[in-house]
Amino acid sequence: MLEFIIRYWTEMLFSAALSLLGMAYKKLAKRVKEQDAIKLGIRALLRDRIIQVYNHSYDLGYCPIYALENAVAMYEQYHALGGNGTVTELLDRLKELPTNRKEDYDEY
């Protein structure tokens, strides 16, 4: 009788442990999927913002130093999140733009 009870409880404990592990795995998998989505979303927002800074500065014909610093800071985080490609080229072009308007140079 004692052997039957021990066997029964052992099976119950293993079943409960497996159920808990299954639930924990599902919860962890959902959290990982959400974190990946957040990472991709942030990377997309950074990419969009850097492109906006580039387009605006290109239209102006210059890039103020504060805008360039912000773009570089955003690019560092964008790159850390796995971003690359076109944005690297845009940032390089942005760095080549003057930091003041042409009229500011003419005053001197």
Residue type, 36: D
Residue 107 above 70 pLDDT?
Answer: no
Residue type, 31: R
| Paired tokens of 55 | 């387009």
Residue type, 102: K
Q: What is the mean pLDDT of residues 34-46?
A: 96
pLDDT at res. 5 = 74
Task: Look at residues 69, 75, 73 and name the one whose alpha carbon lies nearest to residue 88.
Answer: 75
**pLDDT for 55-90, tens place per residue?**
999 999 999 999 999 999 999 999 999 988 889 999
Residue 40 above 60 pLDDT?
Answer: yes
Q: Alpha-carbon distance 42 to 39, whole Å?
A: 5
Model confidence at 105, pLDDT cuts 50, 70, 90, reads: low
What pTM does this model have?
Answer: 0.75
Residues making up the chain, counted from first to last: 108
